[in-house]
Amino acid sequence: MPAPNKIIRRSLAIALLSVSLTAPAALAAPVPSATPPAGMSTVGGARLGLPGTQVDLGDGAPVLPKGLTARSWIVADAESGAVLAAHNAHWRLPPASTLKMLFADTVLPKFPRTQTHKVTPADLADVGAGSSLVGIKENETYTVHDLWLGVFLRSGNDAVHVLSAMNGGTEPTVEDMNAHAQELQALDTNVVTPDGYDADHQVSSAYDLTLFARSGMQKKDFREYCSTVRASFPGETKKNKKGKTSRGSFEIQNTNRLLSGDYDVSVYQGIAGVKNGNTTHAGATFTGVAERDGRVLLVTVMNPEKKDHNEVYRETAKLFDWGFAALDKARPVGELVPPRSAAEAKAQPGAEPSAGRTGESDPSPAAATHASVGNGSNGVGIALGVAGGVLVLLAAGAFLVNRRWPLPDLMRRRTRP
């Protein structure tokens, strides 16, 4: 064996030994099988429970893009809920930080954005070794708005744990998330950690992650945070020689490369969120939402075989392109189901859709246009809240969306940074 190879293998062995000695038990979670189960959940349609690619090309529909290597993916119309194509949609896989969409959808409505919280050591005690961090410091005070920017832009596990502490702790938050997943009919999902950190038995699916995104996008603040490209985040309080204290700030940028761009990935035209993730056992995961010509698609991609760190974005972009070209041509192979409460209400005799709203949605286009455009957001905070409508959840139980869900011109014209 050539000497350089010996050195590389020796270094790798040392690194793996170090991880095994210092990482928590969560990292010992078994790597999922490379083969999907023969039978999976059929929520949303029988074809979605079958292994392999499910697509029904109608007249004029383009063929699926070549070079897709992900273990699981799904392309869905965000408005109608129609699943245009899927590949192992219900395969239960580690979700990584895409699970933070469920965390946000569950916890975000509980605290006003202006509420403040002083961080204690206990708040950060359960943050896993090697976690992605936004840079929260003990004994510093942050607004809820700051914390959510840390969750969405930097995928900060420290921000997740502080918000979990505000919610009563990690265990109650996990219970809340699992209960909300059941309400959304995301039955492939089992939450063990609120931040998506690798843990034994923590799983979700491309189908469920898409449900989380669709539900989350109905919340005005969720739309703002997930579409913000960059923002200012509070730094650490410092004292000068004269005893005077000051607190600066630093810039954070969204790690969603279809939104912020990278050296080998261009900003995707019409992108407006939602969340990316990457861990040892999950590989790269991503759920995105994009608009073109007044039509909105949701795409989720889980664990591409190609381990290039931006491959998940390239495959997502391919599926977006295909989906927009296939709209009204490809015949649906399934659907995104409504929440249980909506489905049950709709099933009640005499139930009629009404203009009433639940406490979780913000269907008013006028209200959505007032979404905060904070430091450095470049106006993207109102990405999905302009005249023409947003996703709505009607109180009478009809889980419906308006025909148009457009993005502002700023988003469509924005060039690669």
Catalytic residues: 97, 100, 155
Q: Are 43 and 211 in contact (CB under 8 A)?
A: no
Q: Give the long-range contacts of residues 31-40, CB within 8 A, separation 24 or more.
A: 31/281, 32/92, 32/93, 32/94, 32/203, 32/281, 34/71, 36/71, 36/72, 36/88, 36/91, 37/91, 40/88, 40/89, 40/90, 40/91, 40/92, 40/188
Rg (CA), the chain: 21
- Scanning 140-185, the segments in alpha helix (DSSP H) are 144-154, 157-166, 170-183
Q: Are 160 and 116 in contact (CB under 8 A)?
A: no
CA 181 to chain centre: 14
Residue 87: what are its φ and ψ, rounded to 5°?
Answer: -140, 110
Closest to 313 measured CA to CA, from 70, 34, 32 = 70
CA 345 to chain centre: 27
Rounded Cα distance between 235 and 255, Å, is 19
Q: Are 253 and 285 in contact (CB under 8 A)?
A: no
Closest to 152 measured CA to CA, from 193, 116, 105, 120 = 105
Please provide the DSSP assignment of 21-73 as one string: HHS-GGGGPPPPPSS--SS---TT-GGGGSSSEEEB--TTPPPPPS---EEEE
Q: Which residues pair with 407 in a beta bridge?
A: none
Closest to 338 measured CA to CA, from 389, 405, 392, 385 = 392
Q: Are 119 and 136 in contact (CB under 8 A)?
A: yes
Which is it for strands 230-239 and 245-253: parallel, antiparallel or unpaired?
antiparallel
Q: What dihedral do alpha carbons 378, 383, 388, 389 form, nearest 10°?
A: -140
Token digits of residue 154: 């930097």
Q: Are 339 and 312 in contact (CB under 8 A)?
A: no
